[in-house]
Amino acid sequence: MLLEVRDLQVEFRTREGVAKAVNGVNYTVDEGETLAVLGESGSGKSVTAQAIMGILDMPPGKIAGGEIVFQGKDLLKLKEEERRKVRGAKMAMIFQDALSSLNPVLSVGAQIGELFTVHQGMSRKDARTKAVELMDRVRIPAAQERVGQYPHQFSGGMRQRIMIAMALALEPDLIIADEPTTALDVTVQAQVMDLLAELQRELGMGLILITHDLGVVADVADRIAVMYAGRIVETAPVHEIYKRPAHPYTKGLLESIPRLDQKGQELYAIKGLPPNLMHIPPGCAFNPRCPMAQDVCRTDVPPLYEVSPTRRSACHFWKETLDAGQ
């Protein structure tokens, strides 16, 4: 087990009250495994990732409970200085918008090289040589010449490759990619995703892929965790979930993908809006939008039921959902 998140709870204290962004998330990532975390905006997937990385803004954020066990150590119990040494070296993060995630006043070579100077005390000249190697590795053409250029001189896809190069620099054991391809256009998305998947296989890293793009997930993920209102509602191996979802929310997500054989028909959409995190509905958070909701859903929070040894679903009616198929 590379990473285990146990009952993680994150709150944001605001003037209007406490927003419970993450309410008891559990998931695990093995060495070399790709876990896709799926969910709408505001479902807590990025906040969970930030808590794992230790880059949550605190305050206003606050980790209210739980454990994040990484390579046998609870990260939340480490001192900030020890935690800092883990970041970048043992686990790294790829951000959504590469343009705003790269410092505009530093050359890309300097930014990639920074990892080597910070963590390994390498000289700036050696770090620069390493940066060129990494840029080659993520297939940036003419890396030698471009290493001294600035982020705004690169295209979107190239910038995301630079982010990947930075994340991979010290060959970490875990990479968290927070919507790595959302800001890119479709053809570039595929290239960047392929590159990421390939490098991950090569280096045998665990990968947490945060996304709301089901198409991306199907190609690269081993397992999926679906999040809703700060909780995991379903986890399953990727192919099983596509065939037979065990939670009405997952089912709704899958049905809202446009498909060629449904040409001319109205596209399905899950009714309603995600809940306000300051007033999460009692019982199952999804009940106001769920087509299958019964009385029990409005009173009892569903635990994560074991559907099979590899699957979990937080739905009182997972059996019925599963049987309904897709």
Partner 1 sequence: MPEPQPPEPYLSGGGRAPEDGAIAATGAGGAMDLATSEGTTLEKTPGGPEGTGPAGKPRSLWSDAWRDLRRNPIFIISGLIIVFLVFISLWPSLIASGNPLSCDLAKAQEGSQAGHPFGFDGQGCDVYTRTVYGARTSVTVGVCATIGVSLLGSVLGGLAGFFGGSWDAILSRITDVFFAIPVVLGGLVLLSVVTSSTVWPVIGFMVLLGWPQLSRIARGSVITAKQNDYVQAARALGASNSRMMLRHILPNAVAPVIVVATIALGTYIALEATLSYLGVGLKPPTVSWGIDISAASPYIRNAPHMLLWPAGALAVTVLAFIMLGDAVRDALDPKLR
- List residues near partner 1 by CB under 8 A: 53, 55, 84-89, 92-93, 95, 97, 100-107, 109-110, 113-115, 118-119, 124-125, 127-129, 132, 144-150, 152, 163, 166-167
Q: How far is the CB of 66 from partner 1 (least distance, A)?
A: 20
> Does residue 230 come out as left (phi exceeding 0), alpha (psi in the -120 to 50 range) or beta?
left
Instruction: Tell me whether residue 74 or residue 126 sits nearer to partner 1 (CB atom).
Output: 126
Which two three-digit tokens encode residue 181?
């391809």
Helix (H) or strand (E) holding 74: strand 73-74
Taking the C-alpha atoms of residue 116 and residue 135, their distance in angstroms, rounded to an integer, is 14
Q: Count Cβ atoms below 10 Å from residue 212 Cβ, excluding itself.
A: 16
Between 148 and 272, CB nearer to partner 1: 148
**Nearer to partner 1 among residue 73 and residue 239 (C-beta):** 73
Work out how close the CB of 306 gets to partner 1 at its nearest, in angstroms, rounded to a whole number: 34
- Closest approach, Cβ 227 to partner 1, in A, equals 20
Nearest to residue 229, comparing CAs of 281, 183, 191, 177?
Answer: 281
Instruction: Tell the smallest beta-carbon distance from residue 151 to partner 1 (Å).
Output: 9
Tokens representing 122? 């390498």
- Half-sphere exposure at residue 257, Cβ-oriented, CA atoms within 13 angstroms: 16
Q: What share of the chain is helix, strand, coil (3-state, %, to 5)?
A: 40, 25, 35
Q: Which positions ≥6 away from 261 have C-beta within 8 Å?
A: none
Residue type, 204: G
Q: DSSP alpha helices (H): ranges in the chain?
A: 45-53, 80-86, 98-101, 108-120, 124-137, 143-146, 156-168, 186-203, 214-220, 238-243, 248-255, 295-299, 318-324
- Cβ 43 to partner 1, closest distance in Å? 20
Task: In angstroms, give the least distance from the CB of 60 to partner 1.
Answer: 11
Shortest separation between residue 203's beta carbon and partner 1, angstroms: 17
**How many other CB atoms are found less than 10 A from the CB of residue 135?**
23
How far is 82 from 80, CA to CA, in rounded Å? Answer: 6
Q: How far is the CB of 240 from partner 1 (least distance, A)?
A: 32
Nearer to partner 1, 119 or 212 (CB): 119
Cβ atoms of 198 and 225 within 8 Å: the answer is no
- Beta carbon nearer to partner 1, 146 or 311: 146
* Cβ nearer to partner 1, comparing 80 with 295: 80
